Amino acid sequence: MSRIKQTNNKNIKKKKKKSIGFKILMGFLAILIASMAIGGGYLYGLFFKLDNVKLDNKDLGISSTDEFSKYDNYTDIKNIALFGVDAEDGGAGRSDSMMIVTIDPIHSKLKVTSLMRDSYVNIAGHGMDKLNHAYAFGGPQLAIKTINENFGLNVEDFATVNFSSLPIVIDLIGGVDIEIMAEELDSLNASIATHNTANGTNSPNIYATGPQHLDGTQALAYSRIRYTDGGDYKRTERQRTVLESLFTKLIKTSPSSYNSILTNVLPHVQTSLSPTTILSLGTKVLGIGNGTLIQERFPRDGASEGTTIDEIYYLTFDIKDTINQMRDYIFSDK
């Protein structure tokens, strides 16, 4: 019989895993969309370097149309699942980062929704388990189906990025600016050392708090900090912090640099989006304009709690409340 114990999210000490998937994905989608919109035909050919994957749209677990009917013009709002994986061994890898990017021309906003990897969900054919296991069990097809069925969404497309792409992009755009807190320094520098050893880089430690300019390796190390106050909640916040800084820097980056960025990044990207679809989405993003990126995390604190089941940590949550909250946020901008 399962042994269940409620725990405080902030005090959970989790075992270190051998590999932690890459966290920040929106920046790459921003490159894809912005490049297609700004570069047009000149860069169009580069997008055929993408590893294009066709999904079975009849098996994505999308809720019935009736459930979305109360949201005006919801079909004009595009949701794309973004997965960050550690797949160095050639396998599918666990999606240690999961986000939904929403292109919302109705409310003129880009929305990024982080999904907690430890969320206790039902995975078709595998029973109750952690959300990030779905990708390892069945790749993007099962991962999207799991998200749709447990969070009441209508996601039909995805982009998956290998963790190794983050330093490439950040170095190509000249680094990102991140505010470092005192309690993060030791973990950050330990993570930098680990990545230097693994990747043959030589990025220096960070010795001061406050705003710091980070190179690619340092930013990847920052996004992987887990063992500070706040645990996984704080980690997803760091992901969004890097995302926002990367997105801001990309907006200011000259389109002439996109060719180099795309040439290095696209081989790491797997997606169901075609070049034509990306171009169409790019047009919508340009129509939305700058300064409209908003971020959220689900399940929210008030509707979830840390739970230990058979000595394994999960994040349990009120499914009905979370579905309503996510739909209101994504489709009604509440």
**Residue 64's pLDDT band (cuts 50, 70, 90):** confident
Residue 142's identity, in one-letter code, is: L
Quick one: pLDDT at residue 42?
54
Which of 87, 59, 98 is CA-nearest to residue 239? 98
Residue 226's identity, in one-letter code, is: R
Q: For the ranges 65-69, 70-74, 132-136, 288-292, which has the lowest average pLDDT?
A: 288-292
Q: State the average pLDDT over residues 67-77.
A: 89
Alpha helices in 51-159 (DSSP H): 133-151
The per-residue pLDDT for range 24-55, each reduced to its tens digit, is: 344 455 555 555 444 455 556 677 777 889 99
Residue 94 pLDDT more than 70?
Answer: no
Please state at what angle helix 26-39 crosses helix 165-172, rounded to 10 degrees. 50
* 92-105 core/surface letters (b: 16 or more CB in 10 A; e: else): bbbbbbbbbbbbbb
Quick one: pLDDT at residue 303?
85
> Is the model more confident about 117 or about 248?
117
Q: Which CATH architecture has domain 4-331?
A: 3-Layer(aba) Sandwich (3.40)
Distance, in Å, from the CA atom of 87 to the CA atom of 84, rounded to the nearest integer, reads: 9
Distance, in Å, from the CA atom of 178 to the CA atom of 244, rounded to the nearest integer, reads: 10
214 neighbors 164 (Cβ within 8 angstroms)? no
Q: For the ranges 110-124, 141-155, 162-176, which has the lowest average pLDDT?
A: 162-176
179 neighbors 212 (Cβ within 8 angstroms)? yes
The per-residue pLDDT for range 194-247, each reduced to its tens digit, is: 989 988 999 999 999 999 999 999 998 998 887 666 666 677 678 767 767 876
> Is the model more confident about 294 or about 146?
146
Residue 258 pLDDT more than 80?
Answer: no
pTM over 0.75: no
